[in-house]
Structure 1
Amino acid sequence: MTSEPPVQRALEGVTVLDFSHLLQGPFATQLLGDMGANIIKIERAGSGDMFRSMTFFAKWVGGSESPNFLAWNRNKRSIALNLKSKKVHDLIMEMAKTADVVVQNFRPGVFDRLGYGYEDFKAVNPRIIYCSGSGYGEEGPYVDRPGQDMLIQGLAGLIDNTGRGDQAPVPAGAGLADQIGAMNMVYGILGALYWREKTGKGQKIEVNLLAGMLAHLAQEYVAVLNLGQDLKRPNSGIGHPGMQAPFGIYETKDGYVSIAMSPFKTLYEVLEAPELAVYDDLATLYDKRDEVWEKVNAETRKYGSAELLERMLAVDIWCAQVNDIRTAAEDPQVRHMNMLTTYEHPRGGTVRVVAPAIRMSETQPVIERPAPLIGEHGREILAEFGMAPDDIDSLVADGDMTIET
């Protein structure tokens, strides 16, 4: 009988002390955990990560668990500690001696005042990689402001680019600034790990939401700052303030479709609307884009979504159905990619989640652990770092560590 070879993980052997909360930091460490890193989530004793107390729809998975927390905290073990305790500080610095990465996204200055700044960790482990996430960076006029996702979208210019020009601007329907910040954390951490392999040196990484959002609006900034023209939201369903028709969202008999790139002639021929030929030059399609959108939308409404998509795809018009979340989860391509999966949670039961988004031929990311309970793994984590059972019991008795079961 042959046994399957052990599954390999790209970041196996990398230990991360994860002090982060809410979305930016936890998503970053979840991505590292999917690749096999040993993520030790260090939460506040008692209450844990702030996301545990926040939810959508005023409902809880399994009656008690936050979908927000469950989404960003798989493949981690939790230990819940009182970070203000001298005993806990000494314990964490002992753990840091053999750790590889520290991740935190407290407001600037908070962690340093508690004795957990980069220099504190570097003093016990010069090879440590310390990744700090914030809203606006660690200095400057906004350093003390709350760095929340929607606020960043507005400051960077994304919200003003979104929605119809005759209505209020609209924030994106997802935490894009936080999620981009998470990707930048991972980008920085992986680069630092590679550089450490070559030099033996650790370093500090600073990631902030505003800088990340600006970087992802690069083409909009280059266009406005170099072409001498401001972006202006259209009054129709055109999909971008800098684009000409037909780029946008259109109604059908039973829903909506998005239409991106194609020769305009190809589109009006598919729609059997030759009268639209009068608009067929680039300047007109921009200058009269709202008018063109209205004309095209009147034609798309004559078709069901499936029929219209079939007609457009047959002549290579770039188009797609506009799904809601539930429909997207059942989309044939999403199902083919196995992008929705489940894990078993001790309180939430069978939880449906989004699977890792990348495919690797040798070290495929996987989901091996559900999101943890508060401090669930405290005893086993401390035992791995050599702490005696009696000393662990003392931490619990003193209130410096809590364990939820």
Structure 2
Amino acid sequence: MTDTTLPFSGAEGALSGLRILDFSHLLQGPFATQLLADLGADVIKIERPGKGDLFRSLTFRNKWVGGTESPNHLAWNRNKRSLALDLKSAEAREIIMKMAEEADVVVQNFRPGVMARLGYGYEAFAAVNPRIVYCSGSGYGEEGPYVSRPGQDMLIQGLTGIMAATGQADQPPTPVGAGFSDQVGAMNMVYGILAALLWRERSGKGQEIKVNLMAGMLAHQNQEMVMAMNFNEDFERPNSGIGHPGMDAPFGTYPTRDGWITIAMSPYARLVEVLGNPDLSRFDDPAILYDRRDEVWAALAEETRRFGSDDLLDRLLEADIWCGRVKSHLEVADDPQVRHMGMITSYTHPTAGEVKCVAPAVKFSDTPASIRRHAPLVGEHSREILAELGYDAAQLDQLAQKGVVGMGGPA
């Protein structure tokens, strides 16, 4: 495991010199800006004095890293600087618009209309800096029958078909075990922002980008939507461990003596040969493998249970059958391929101590992504950022005393 908190001594990041004003909170926006920060962008996280991003107060299983820090917040906010401002104050607006003069990107994922009502809509920033790229994230877009609804990940999964297509038919529809809608939304933010920046280099003009979770989840399920709409048939979830509602056997998850494995698209006859039971050949017909897929799965599972996972995987891989082990998060962290890729790292946090995390996933030959900063404390960089804008110590003290600016940092 590598600690990457030390000053970055290699080449500059691909986005070095880019400044982003980040008003986002929870997962979608913060993940998007963290991806950009990992590539060298200067991300200034603008949050509430004292409380900060809502994710600072939310956690899993009532556990806090180092006893104080939310793992949810730590996961999505490294490489950023925190500026704590009361957005409703006139002084804060003056500060933000002064930063906007030189900023490249604004990111926000408040409910539609909130930023505009506070005086921080796209038009306000564009009036100060016509080259600015302004990216908004929402649950359902900025108008329509759902516009006032909360745009939370699990709700979006339920509304866009993926939950109804996941799990077994005799069990409730199953949400993906991660914030999948939010993470898809974050990726859409990033590609929208990068495309707009490229267009700005060609045209000299900034623009507004609107990303919403519902549209993103539909786009990422296009093959399922194309199938359903063109045949006017919904998918039916299987009762067994078949891995997709549109697939036939053997595609799915199978038990072994000591765990579970996955088997993907593979020649059925070759699988039967490896399992060593010729009677399974009676299912070797495309129609049977789909129409009776639960029965086929059960018959295959009886055979896979006879093997230990390692033994069975060795046999399947030798026969060039697509397969893998089902692993928990902790098992993944110790996976030899994950270790080989350097995907598990850590950084040092002033209150949480060592924070183990996943490293940046995209590799660059000349401008590598890196972890240069810990996830900030609320207002940790307020003085630093405002000093860069020309505020002196007396002015900063006055702003802090009025509650306009929150000053934070390690005790």
Q: Which residue of 1 aligns with 2:202?
A: 198
Q: 2:139 aligns with which of 135, 139, 147?
A: 135
Match of 1:395 among 399, 402, 409: 399
Partner of 1:346: 350
Identity of aligned residues (%): 63
Counterpart of 2:398, as a letter, is S
In 2: Cα distance, 1:289 partner to 1:32 partner: 44
**Aligned residue type for 1:181:** G
Match of 2:212 in 1: 208
> What's the CA shift for 1:276?
1.1
TM-score between both structures, scaled by the size of structure 2: 0.97
User: Is the CA contact (8 Å cut-off) linking 2:136 and 2:211 kept in structure 1?
Assistant: yes
Map 1:192-341 onto structure 2 (within 5 A). Answer: 192-341=196-345
Change (3 A) 1:117 1:5: closer
SS in 2 for 1:226: helix
Please give the alpha-carbon distance, in whole angstroms, between the structure 1 residues aligned to 2:139 and 2:390. 37
Within the alignment, does 1:100 sit opposite 2:107 as a pair? no
Q: Which residue of 1 aligns with 2:26?
A: 22
2:375 to 371, 374, 383: 371
| Correspondence for 1:160 among 157, 164, 170 | 164
Matched, 1:116 2:120: yes
Within 5 A, what are the aligned runs for 1:72-87? 72-87=76-91
Q: Which amino acid aligns with 1:317?
A: I
User: How big is the alpha-carbon RMSD for the aligned residues of Structure 1 and Structure 2?
Assistant: 1.0
Q: Secondary structure, in 3 states, of the residue corresponding to 1:132?
A: strand
Q: CA deviation at 1:43?
A: 0.5
Shift of 1:5: 7.5
Q: Larger relative contact order (C-alpha < 8 A, sep ≥ 6)?
A: 2
1:68 to 67, 72, 87: 72
Q: Secondary structure at the residue paired with 2:209?
A: strand
Which ranges in structure 2 are unaligned for 5 or more consecutive residues? 1-7
Distance 2:320 2:28 in 1: 38
> CA shift at 1:394, angstroms?
1.2
2:47 alignment partner in structure 1: 43
Q: Give the gaps of 5 or more residues in structure 1.
A: none
Task: Tell me the distance in 1 between the aligned counterparts of 2:371 and 2:186.
Answer: 18
For residues 188 and 396 of structure 1, what CA distance do their matches in structure 2 show? 36
How far apart in 2 are the matches of 1:199 and 1:394? 42
Amino acid at match of 1:371: A
Name segments (4+ residues, structure 1) moved above 3 Å: none
Is contact 2:382–2:408 with CA below 8 Å preserved after alignment?
A: no
Residue in structure 1 matching 2:13, options 9, 21, 31: 9
Q: Equivalents in 1 of 2:212, 2:275: separation in Å?
A: 46
